[in-house]
Amino acid sequence: MDPIARKPIALNPIALKPIGWVRHGVPEAGVPRLRSEMVSEIVMEDAYAEAIAGLEGYSHLFVLFWMHRCDPARYRPMVHPRGREDLPLTGVLSTRGRNRPNPLGLAVVEWLGRAGHCLQVRRLDAYDGTPVIDIKPYDPYDVFTDLRVPDWWYRITHPAGYGFGIGGTPAP
């Protein structure tokens, strides 16, 4: 038997085809600062325009996108979260950083509306022109309130060292 045939499918190369792209006109430097309030359009490819029928029934969506501006040479298996050397060296898959083995981005966005084959959303932290790989509805099944995060996460979100964590639990 061919040894390649026994490999799980996930270990073979995967080809993805974008279903659309991001349009917002915000300069790249402004995206990290404005991402929580930024309004974007997801411009659907004509072949997928009909596939978005029914999304208007949801208040929020998952958007999967390809971080096409990432440099594969910058991938490192261990990183300091957010590039902050005061935070512990951590496996890149334990962070939200962009220099990953596969530069796949994920955002939960607020649905604002639709104009033809364009979706209007808020909180999509992707650059103008970013390819969109998939869109999925966010529903109550996806909501968790008993989250756990590492201590370094609180150091980023509560720099003064106080406050409350997710679900009202005290931050360390």
Q: What is the pLDDT of residues 26-55, one digit of tens each?
A: 888 888 778 788 999 999 999 999 999 999
The token pair at 66 is: 């390809």
Q: E-strand spans in 47-122?
A: 60-66, 78-79, 90-91, 104-115, 118-122
pLDDT digit string, tens, across residues 109-150? 999 999 999 999 999 999 999 999 999 999 999 988 888 888
Are both 117 and 168 inside the same structural domain?
no
Average pLDDT of the segment spanning 62-87 = 91
Kindly state whether residues 118 and 152 are assigned to the same domain.
no
Torsion of the alpha carbons at 121, 137, 125 and 160, rounded to the nearest 10: 110
**pLDDT at 129 (0 to 100):** 95
Total count of domains within the chain:
2
Residues 52, 24, single domain; the answer is yes
Same-domain status, 53 and 114: yes
Q: What is the pLDDT of residue 3?
A: 56
Establish if 73 belongs to a structural domain. no
Tell me the C-alpha distance between 152 and 165, whole Å: 12
pTM, 2 dp: 0.81
Is 48 in the same domain as 25? yes
147: in domain: yes
- CATH number of the domain where residue 27 is located: 2.40.30.70
Considering the chain, what percentage of its residues have pLDDT values greater than 70? 86
Q: Are strands 131-138 and 60-66 parallel, antiparallel or unpaired?
A: antiparallel
Query: How far apart, in whole angstroms, are the C-alpha atoms of residue 19 and residue 48?
Result: 6
Position 94 in a domain: no
Quick one: pLDDT at residue 7?
A: 62
Of 72, 71, 42, which is closest to residue 136 (Cα–Cα)? Answer: 42
Could you tell me the two tokens for 50? 């009909």
Structural domain boundaries enclosing 121: 17-68+103-138
* Residue 75 forms part of a structural domain: no
The Cα 129–Cα 50 span in angstroms is 21
Statement to judge: residues 44 and 129 lie in one domain:
yes
> Does residue 12 lie within any of the structural domains?
no
Q: What's residue 154's pLDDT?
A: 82
Structure-token pair, residue 82: 């957010």
Instruction: Indicate if 107 and 146 belong to the same structural domain.
Output: no
**Residue type for 97, please?**
G
Does residue 151 share a domain with residue 118?
no
